[in-house]
């Protein structure tokens, strides 16, 4: 180590990051250089992060769409501490389990729509979606229809980074050179009216996008299709909010061909859309639901697959075990933190507040941006939102196909100590559900100034 570098300094941490750490989703050539380098986050409180240089940063993304209760919640830390002293680990394999594991399963069954009464745990959204793939195939096998093996998903979908969850996903850069998607994974158009709707009204397009699923089912043969998976609102794909016509039609099609409907609620779950689950916002009752992120507000890793009576009763029939599980399935400390997290979510009335107060406030403030020359569309639901940056509003055309406008705007926000994410040319919002309306104002005001700067930069090119 370079002797001149002080132990607890930014320089030292950046140096270690460059020399020994491979960050997720990073271009190492750019990041791992002297000019590049990571910002080091050392502490956080409420909706604010603090970096190692003492900068205070407003987090418009709740970490990675997960810190729903905000940072610095002592109640969550305390429940982890107490559970660690009581029982830091035990597994749920081989006829054992722990109290927080089953208490949380009951709580999730109570919150989940319909008869999604059973939880299978993992530690990440990716794992829970992998579990879905294996569980669905196990189910159809037991149901005497082993030919039902195909999954249908959407372009732009994000379902995780493991081989199966990235196959479910619809992001080309995550697939091509990695030999993905695996066999049996198929993709159709997402309900993204702004890019794919053309002359159709959003409602007409919503129906058409749902019918693309039916066409795919008929192309593959309904007897080969196991399940359709979708996020109620697609998050990492750019906050793609479907027209209201979309989900009921998807549900109708899945019912018609006896195809399981899986809702990936990893981002939408636990109040993000102003309902407890995105499925409830769109009036659908999936057969399975995957949960992660907001389940613990990101304080500890935890995920769950919720399963309905139809599937659970089949899994419980005689005819072999479900050979699947993780060391940390139902981890008692993560489950204890989740229980406290969900109690706080309810006690602080955050779902109603998102639906009736903060969500409408964000929408109102974002709507003020539609006059900006760079803004083609704003869309929001609860506390998840996107602002599309365009070159030509009428033609809905972008500055380029590399997301340059989004990147420039994101950097201007970052320089103003505001964290928003750019997905292609959409600036996306997903703040903690505890955010104050004055902090929402700060985010939107900061974005407006950043839009002005971005336009100047683009005009200079």
Binding region for ligand PXG (CB under 6 A): 64, 124-126, 129, 158-160, 231, 235-236, 264, 266-267, 292, 421
Q: How far is the CB of 11 from ligand PXG (least distance, A)?
A: 27
Nearer to ligand PXG, 10 or 297 (CB): 297
Contact 387, 447 (CB under 8 A): yes
Gap between the terminal Cα atoms of the chain: 42
Q: How far is the CB of 371 from ligand PXG (least distance, A)?
A: 28
Nearer to ligand PXG, 71 or 429 (CB): 429
Q: How far is the CB of 39 from ligand PXG (least distance, A)?
A: 16
For ligand PXG, the nearest residue by Cβ is 125
Alpha helices in 348-400 (DSSP H): 350-353, 359-367
Find the helix or strand (DSSP H, E) in which 218 lies: helix 202-220
Alpha helices in 221-348 (DSSP H): 246-256, 278-281, 309-315, 332-347
Nearer to ligand PXG, 131 or 450 (CB): 131
Nearer to ligand PXG, 231 or 442 (CB): 231
Q: How far is the CB of 407 from ligand PXG (least distance, A)?
A: 13
Q: How far is the CB of 159 from ligand PXG (least distance, A)?
A: 5
* Bridge partners, 386 (sequence order): 379, 428
* Bridge partners, 308 (sequence order): 116
Residues 6+ apart with CB under 8 A from 446: 58, 413, 416, 418
Alpha helices in 47-98 (DSSP H): 62-65, 74-86
Nearer to ligand PXG, 411 or 457 (CB): 411
Q: How far is the CB of 201 from ligand PXG (least distance, A)?
A: 27
Nearer to ligand PXG, 125 or 332 (CB): 125
CA distance 68 to 55: 22
CA distance 222 to 150: 9
Q: How far is the CB of 12 from ligand PXG (least distance, A)?
A: 27
CA distance 301 to 287: 24
Find the helix or strand (DSSP H, E) in which 379 lies: strand 375-381
Nearer to ligand PXG, 426 or 435 (CB): 426
């Amino acid at each position: 180590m370079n002797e001149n570098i002080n132990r607890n300094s930014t320089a030292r941490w950046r140096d270690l990051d460059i020399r020994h750490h491979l960050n997720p989703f990073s271009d190492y050539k750019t990041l791992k250089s002297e000019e590049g380098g990571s910002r080091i986050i050392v502490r956080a409180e409420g909706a604010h992060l603090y970096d190692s240089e003492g900068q205070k940063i407003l987090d418009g993304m709740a970490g990675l769409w997960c810190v729903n209760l905000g940072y610095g919640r002592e109640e969550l830390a305390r429940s982890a501490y107490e559970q660690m002293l009581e029982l830091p680990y035990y597994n749920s394999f081989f006829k054992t389990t722990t109290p927080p594991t089953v208490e949380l399963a009951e709580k999730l069954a109570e919150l989940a729509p319909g008869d999604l009464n059973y939880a299978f745990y993992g530690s990440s959204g990716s794992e829970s979606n992998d579990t879905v793939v294996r569980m669905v195939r196990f189910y159809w096998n037991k149901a005497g229809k082993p030919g039902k093996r195909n999954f249908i998903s959407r372009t732009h979908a994000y379902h995780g980074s493991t081989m199966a969850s990235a196959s479910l996903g619809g992001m080309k850069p995550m697939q091509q050179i990695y030999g993905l998607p695996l066999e049996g994974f198929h993709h159709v158009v997402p309900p993204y009216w702004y890019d794919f709707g053309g002359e159709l009204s959003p409602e007409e397009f919503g129906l058409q996008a749902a019918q693309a699923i039916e066409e795919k089912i008929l192309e593959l043969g309904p007897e080969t299709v196991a399940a359709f998976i979708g996020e109620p609102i697609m998050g990492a794909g750019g906050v793609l909010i479907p027209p209201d016509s979309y989900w009921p039609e998807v549900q109708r099609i899945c019912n018609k061909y006896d195809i399981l409907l899986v809702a990936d609620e990893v981002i939408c779950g636990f109040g993000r859309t102003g309902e407890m689950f995105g499925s409830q916002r769109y009036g659908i009752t999936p057969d399975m639901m995957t949960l992660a992120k907001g389940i613990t507000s990101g304080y500890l890793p935890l995920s769950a697959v919720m399963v309905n009576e139809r599937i659970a009763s089949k899994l419980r029939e005689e005819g072999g075990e479900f050979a699947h599980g993780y060391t940390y399935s139902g981890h008692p400390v993560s489950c204890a933190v989740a229980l406290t997290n969900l109690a706080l979510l309810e006690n602080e009335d955050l779902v109603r507040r998102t639906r009736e107060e903060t969500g409408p406030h964000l929408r109102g403030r974002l709507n003020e941006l539609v006059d900006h020359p760079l803004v083609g569309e704003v869309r929001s639901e609860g506390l998840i939102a996107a602002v599309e940056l365009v070159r030509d509003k009428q033609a809905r055309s972008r500055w380029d196909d590399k997301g340059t406008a989004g990147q420039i705007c994101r950097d201007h926000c970052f320089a103003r100590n505001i964290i928003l994410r750019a997905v292609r040319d959409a600036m996306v919002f997903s703040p903690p559900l505890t955010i104050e309306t004055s902090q929402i104002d700060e985010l939107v005001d900061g974005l407006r100034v950043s839009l002005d700067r971005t336009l100047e930069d683009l005009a200079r090119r």
